[in-house]
Structure 1
Amino acid sequence: MTSAAVPATRRPGLLTQLAYGFGGTAEGIKNNGFDYFLLFFYSNILGVHAGQVGLALLVALVVDAISDPVVGYWSDNLRTRLGRRHPFMYGALIPVAVAYFLAWNPPGDLTGNELFPWLVGVTIAVRLGFTFYEVPSNALAAELTSDYDARTGLMSFRYFFAWMGGLSIQILLLFFLLTPTEEVPNGFFNLQGWHTYGLVAAVCILIAVAVCAGGTHRHIKHLKAPPQARNLTLTRIFREIFETVSNRSFRALFLATLFGLLATGISATLNQYINTIFWGFSPKQIAGLTVGVYVSAILALVVAPLAGRVLGKKRAAILIGIFAFTIAPLPVILRLFGLLPPNGTEALYTIILVITVFDVALIIATQMLMGAMVADIVEDSELQTGRRSEGIFFAGISFIRKLSQGAGVVTASFVLAVAGLSQGVAAQAPSSESIRQLGIGYAASLLTAWTLMLLCVSFYRISRESHEANLAALAARDGTETTP
């Protein structure tokens, strides 16, 4: 297939890319808050039993299991003058911000376990609101352009702003809002700080959604039309969904996302233990590592599009992934063999800081490439099914992302239990054997999850050449259909 056979495609300008990418800020803020702080806030600060908080999050996840594919399918088939995606994005604008604000500002007259019904309701509201925004807006990546490289650029901006947004709000919370006072010497128990966080985060989410929807609004007339109207029975809907997700490349990315975010959940849960117990870093040093992620996100924004253009998305994701996921546990492995400077030395901290900055950059770049790979499945599936199903594909990835990170937390908890650090021992003086077991469990679980992720990616079958062939075949088919 020669390049001449490939139809010309629209490439969004820089302002559109920035507007679309900035929409990821909302997801980054929500994911950061729910993954790292919601359990702590409701159990440790407000006094809700941790088991009940976990149950509330589980109930919301079950709702997600239903709402994600429903909204995805709905947005694929919606017919309005605002297109298929934007009505959902505009509709979610106010509810999603209000719901997130309420999550961190519960009624003052409720205490302890009395907050359980409120928590269930508000977490469901946040999850539903973000489903109505995230699924259609992520699906736009496959509609704004069909260009192989331009899609990588779009998803790179999306992940860049997600990381930057989540990190910035986290730093605001920890360094500026949770400050100690005379009445509250421990800043973590400064309720006003948590309430202010909820307000600031909600406003940022509102702005991000508005910028994404408004910044892509002028492209509505160029977006793809929904499938032809047909009698949609429940049986037909489920048959079409199953037919869509049976795509081989989608199954590969679905499982790859599961294992990749399993690793993310493990890393996020054990990160504090590794930094404090294994490396013996001070809070100031840990803050330095956190700020270093800003540099990582910028590096990833450069690396992902360049690697995708030179190597192709699949090959780039695998090669960068192998490099990134070998580096990540390497310092821990070297320490286990006594090959790093001792704890408390500047040399050790410098080594870990440099490795963290570059390794996180490569991990983010891998996520960007895999996100762009989802968009390329759309045309491959359209040739097989005759329907464009961007919403279904991104809904599936959205749901497995939420589910797999929870599984990562469970796996990390098992590692802590084996190391004997699950019952508050970490706050005292863990034995050298416990520290060694922590390092072994951390390295082994991450390497296993990442290896499985890259193995799944290897079954993805869409290359630049096959994508261009798909575009040419679709253009020929549409031309045949429209020729008298």
Structure 2
Amino acid sequence: MAQNSSGVSERLPFKTKLAFGVGSGAESIALFSVGSYAMLYYNQVLGLEAHLAGLAISASLFLDGISDPLVGSLSDRTKSRWGRRHIYMFFAPIPIVLSLWAVFNPPDGLGTWALFSWFAVTVVMLRQSMTFYHTPHLALGSELSRDYTERSKVMSYNSFFTWAGAAATTWIALSYFFQATPEYPRGLLNPEPYGPFSVIMGGIALALLAASAWFTRDRIPHLPKPPENLPKYSPFEFFKDIGKAFNNINYVWLLVAYFFLSMMIGLRGGLHLYTNTYYWHLGSEQIRFFVIGSFAGYLSAFLFAAMLHGRFDKKATIIVSAIVYALAPSIPILVGFAGALTPQTPNLLAILIAFSVLSYGAASVLSISIMSALADIADENELKFGLRQEGVLYSTRALFAKVDQAIGAALAGFVLTLIAFPTKAKVGEVPAEVIWNLALWDGILAGVPGFIAVFFYARYKITRASYEETKAALAARRAAGLAPQATAVSAAVDVPEPLVPPTAPRPAE
């Protein structure tokens, strides 16, 4: 079993990876509960105007995006007996759960602006509380192992359990809380289940968040620690941390690529339900079976992503999975344009689900690969600056994701307006030209930003060989007894050749 320079095994026990993954699932349960049901609850059940409900959610995302890198930098610089990450993971779950409960339990009799204020404040509190768990937790995942492929396995657990949390929330909500009744044939419009729903989901999330922190605490002695001479957190030091992150050209390429990828995700996310409903003529009972495709895709990525990294390297895996992710959703529509696939095609749903397996699998492999690659970038930055920046690296990427997906969602609304898609449209009554334009945008044009992302992913330079050089230089530094020293930002944009102490052997070229 491989070991690092300190003699600690680089292969993690199953318990640790499972506990880390469970935390990702718990985050997904809390955020998905609000993201999927709060808008409908406040708009259709409580009567808050849609634009006000949307404004509350937008404000929470905006403020959340700003706080992500702030908390990331704070976490990177934290010194405590519980390490840099766990101190936050132990204290964040209580405010997360209280905020989740508060979102779905506003006081009775609130007027419009009071109800809007309650929703805005509670959803902001939820996302801010979650930032203090999510950012350190994700950074922890990249620190658990220094092995090139083992950290990919850790991120496989992150990806799979994030999906599992959202899927479980949907299943529990629709199966046990929002069932149809004689008074409410559409169960989601029944106001009574929302309170109990928030209590149960909050309880599950609390147990899993706490379990993830508790059952990974034994790794604290083995995790990287901030340099002794590292200044305390301050606004000035925060901007220095951001500067160091952007000083790494590999990180910049991944962020630029993610900008275009998120634009594709937001655009397709806004249009895909329209395409399934009006182009393929699928009902909601059929659309729900796409969960089979997502499960198969995420499970495949969970099982094989690290294997792909071991055989083909992360860069090649990133490029290929990004191409497949951009292309796979387009293939059924291209075949439909050719007349070979229509709403009347036998087994149409099975065919579409098969392509969704390919799409979800590629998306999950890509996510795992990027998350693992960010840990490799953290190694480069540790060598160059004497500081591991997992918190800043992951949280700044999260900021980009929230901004970019908001742009993509806005583009989806613009496209629907551009093609003159009618309101309250009925299947089979929308003009053929409008349906054709809808499919063109969702199936073809939405993929263009994805292929632009591929171009920038291809400029990412870290390979297994360069990673091993960086790892060897860091190990040599530790073996020579040289503690990492925080340094100022260099003017260079590429990571320099590893600086190895004169008494230590140089890494193999």
Q: What range describes the TM-score normalised by the shorter chain of this pair?
A: over 0.9
Which residue identity lines up with residue 145 of structure 1 in the other structure?
A: S
Name the structure 2 match of 1:238: 239
**What's the counterpart of residue 190 of structure 1?**
190
Question: Helix, strand or coil for the counterpart of 1:315?
Answer: helix
Q: TM-score normalised to the size of structure 2?
A: 0.89
The residue identity in structure 2 corresponding to 1:319 is V
Change (3 A) 1:161 1:421: same
Shift of 1:138: 0.4
Range moving further from structure 2, 189-198 or 381-390: 189-198
| Alpha-carbon shift at residue 163 of structure 1 (Å) | 0.4
Q: Provide the residue aligned with 2:319 in structure 1.
A: 318
1:441 aligns with 2:441: yes
Amino acid at match of 1:215: F
Mapped pair 1:271 → 2:250: no
Partner residue in 1 for 2:393: 393
Following TM superposition, by how much is the alpha carbon of 1:82 offset from its aligned partner in structure 2, in angstroms? Answer: 0.7
Which runs of structure 2 are paired with 1:73-92 in the superposition (5 Å)? 73-92=73-92
> For the structure 1 residues 406 and 40, does the alpha-carbon distance in structure 2 shift closer, same or farther, using more than 3 Å as the test?
farther
The answer to whether residue 137 in structure 2 is matched with residue 147 in structure 1 is no
User: After the TM superposition, which residues 277-316 of structure 1 pair with which residues of structure 2 at under 5 Å, given as runs?
Assistant: 277-316=278-317
Q: Following the alignment from structure 1 to structure 2, what is the Cα–Cα distance between the partners of residues 417 and 459?
A: 36
Q: After superposition, where does 1:111-260 map in structure 2 within 5 Å?
A: 112-232=112-232, 234-260=235-261
Specify the SS of the correspondent of 1:425.
coil
Q: With structure 1 as the length reference, what TM-score do the two structures score?
A: 0.93
Counting only pairs closer than 5 Å after superposition, residues 387-426 of structure 1 correspond to structure 2 as 387-421=387-421, 423-426=423-426
Pair 1:453-2:448 in alignment: no
CA–CA distance in structure 2, aligned partners of residues 49 and 324 of structure 1:
36
Determine the C-alpha separation between the residues in 2 that align with 1:203 and 1:219. Answer: 26
Residues 1:345 and 1:234: Cα distance change in structure 2 (over 3 Å): closer
> The residue matched to 1:461 in structure 2 has which SS?
coil
Once the two structures are TM-superposed, the CA of residue 408 in structure 1 deviates from its matched residue by: 1.8
CA distance in 1, matches of 2:78, 2:145: 20
User: Per-residue CA shift, 1:261-288, capped at 9, x if unaligned?
Assistant: 3222223222221111111012221122
Moved more, 213-222 or 286-295: 286-295
Partner of residue 384, structure 1: 384
The question of whether the paired residues in 2 share the 8 Å contact of 1:56 and 1:123 is answered with yes
2:5–2:478 contact (8 Å) kept in structure 1 = no
Q: Distance in 1 between matches of 2:175 and 2:3?
A: 56
SS of structure 1 residue aligned to 2:47: coil
Larger helix fraction of residues: 1
Task: Give the SS at the match of 1:192.
Answer: coil
Please name the residue that 2:328 is paired with. 327
> Kindly tell me: are residues 363 and 397 of structure 1, through their superposed partners in 2, closer, same or farther at Cα, counting changes over 3 Å?
same
Amino acid at match of 1:148: Y
Give the match for residue 471 of structure 1.
471
Amino acid at match of 2:60: A
The letter of the residue matching 1:220 is I
Unaligned runs of 5+ in 1: none
- For the Cα contact (< 8 Å) 1:11–1:150, is it kept in 2? yes
Query: Relative to 1, partners in 2 of residues 1:346 and 1:196: Cα closer, same or farther, differing over 3 Å?
Result: farther
Alpha-carbon displacement from aligned partner over 1:151-194 (angstroms, at most 9, x marks no partner):
10000011100001101211322344222222223222112233
Q: Percent identity?
A: 28
The one-letter code sitting in structure 2 at the alignment partner of 1:287 is R
Which residue is equivalent to 2:95? 95
1:35 CA displacement? 4.2
Amino acid of the residue matched to residue 320 of structure 2? L
Classify 1:431/1:6 alpha carbon distance in 2 versus 1 (closer, same or farther; 3 Å). Answer: farther
Please tell me whether the aligned partners of residues 83 and 220 of structure 2 are also in contact (alpha carbons under 8 angstroms): yes
